[in-house]
Amino acid sequence: METKTDLAGKFAQLYYAEVDPEELAAREPRDLEGAAAAQLAFGRRFAGGGTKVRAYNPLREQHGWHSTHTVIEIINEDMPFLVDSVTMEVNRQGLTLHLVIHPVLRVTRDASGELVEVSAPGDSTTGRLESFMHLEVDRQTDPAKLAELESGIAKVLADVAAAVRDWRAMQARMADVLSRIESARSAVPHAELEEGRAFLAWLLNHHFTFLGCRDYELATVKGEDVLRIVPGSGLGILRERGETVSASFATLPPEARKRARVKELLVLTKANARSTVHRHGQLDYVGVKHFDAKGEVTAETRFLGLYTHTAYAENPVQVPLLRRKLADVIARAGLLPAGYSGKALAQILESYPRDELLQIGTDDLYRHAMAILQLGERQRLRLLVRQDAYSRFVSCLIYVRASATTRSCASASSAS
């Protein structure tokens, strides 16, 4: 067992092992020593199964070191998405990050959670990996703002933990839905069913970061359709917190709610909520409808998450559902594939913004692609607008014909 002096020295060495030497050289040695000692003291007792976070303004006489910034210290069991998610929350609160220190250490603790020993991750196989995070942000003097920082980060890390803990269970839920997809044949055409089957399998092949999922039953209450939550079905960020129905579905306009009865296998759109885990932006929504023997919609399994970078990089002609949309548009245009216009149309479709390509219907995609093609060699602007099927967002694509060889596209989505 290490003495407290040995522990402090070893911790400080590991704490700064990956920090830019120029960053360390710009600081006073006593402040570096004090910052490491403060983090060690904060994390000396930690039971696990949650997170410890504090935001404060270090004073030399009180904390043993000084900084011109507000400091955030975090102790957490090591898992994916920690730094990305915390950084995103700090930025969401309008603050600038000035320094991030994030050593992952292998620790041994006694039964009460008291720290006994620390080592580099590869130096031992005993103990568990823990994340020690030190962030410095714009100085905040309002106690309420410091409390907001702590509570916001704690909530984000709870979402991260829920998503990571249930990741395999969510993949298993998707696999189970995939195994039962044949039951949709009573309502869904063969080609749509097979492409839907292939798309779900594609998602499972490292193309979707699962953050939450939940099952819903479609019911009618007082003449209105409602989506009832199946008790105990929530995983990840969609674990139930006392809700009984889908609040997002209840707020949709009547015409949009009617889409719940439409006989389609998949619903691909954006969720109302923004991601608090891993990457900023609206959550991606993948809904899989379930049908009875008469071909009527009876339920939905909803997955929330983020398409991976691999999903965005893959050629759309190789992606299930997208390849079918592209083929339908090309066939409808009737252009010679080897001709100038045919090649230009193929390039337009393959470079179309991926989020839009996943959500847009074939009719809208055809209109937009042909409008872009008709720009030809003229130096003109073209605005393409699409409202999502649930009347929640409007997507705007601005195409600029800047030269004979360049097309650029700026896109934006906003709540309507």
User: What is the average per-residue pLDDT within 185-205?
Assistant: 96
- Specify the CATH number for 168-308; select among 1.20.140, 3.30.450, 2.60.120, 3.40.1800: 3.30.450
The whole-number pLDDT of residue 406 equals 40
Which position has the token pair 């339920």? 299
β-strands 297-307, 208-221 pairing: antiparallel
The whole-number pLDDT of residue 403 equals 52
Contact 290, 198 (CB under 8 A): no
**167 has pLDDT over 60:** yes
pLDDT digits (tens, 9 = 90+) for 284-334: 999 999 999 999 999 999 999 999 999 999 999 999 999 999 999 999 999
**90 has pLDDT over 60:** yes
Task: Report helix, strand or coil for 278.
Answer: coil
Q: Please state which of the ranges 16-30, 199-213, 238-252 shows the lowest mean pLDDT.
A: 238-252
Q: Which token pair is 286?
A: 């993948």
**257 has pLDDT over 80:** yes
Beta strands in 6-96 (DSSP E): 51-56, 70-77
Cα 366 from Cα 46, distance rounded (Å) = 57
Helix 362-373 to helix 322-333 angle (10° resolution) is 50
**57 has pLDDT over 60:** yes
Cα 228 from Cα 223, distance rounded (Å) = 15
Cα 213 from Cα 166, distance rounded (Å) = 9
User: What is the average per-residue pLDDT within 61-76?
Assistant: 95
**358 has pLDDT over 80:** yes
Determine how many CB atoms are found less than 10 A away from the CB of residue 290: 20
Percentage, residues of the chain above pLDDT 70: 94
The whole-number pLDDT of residue 405 equals 43
The whole-number pLDDT of residue 407 equals 47
pLDDT digits (tens, 9 = 90+) for 374-388: 887 666 788 999 998
Which position has the token pair 């020593």? 33
The whole-number pLDDT of residue 404 equals 44
The whole-number pLDDT of residue 302 equals 97
262 phi and psi, to 5 degrees? -65, 135
| Annotated domain spans of the chain | 4-164, 168-308, 315-415
β-strands 115-119, 104-109 pairing: antiparallel
Determine how many CB atoms are found less than 10 A away from the CB of residue 313: 8
The whole-number pLDDT of residue 126 equals 84
Return the bridge partners of 381, or none: 400
**95 has pLDDT over 70:** yes
Cα 181 from Cα 201, distance rounded (Å) = 11
**415 has pLDDT over 60:** no
Q: Which of 34-38, 241-245, 258-262 has the highest mean pLDDT?
A: 34-38
The whole-number pLDDT of residue 124 equals 77
Q: Which token pair is 191?
A: 């080609």
pLDDT digits (tens, 9 = 90+) for 97-113: 999 999 999 999 999 99
Mean pLDDT of the chain: 92
Contact 330, 337 (CB under 8 A): yes
The whole-number pLDDT of residue 255 equals 82
Beta strands in 280-368 (DSSP E): 282-291, 297-307
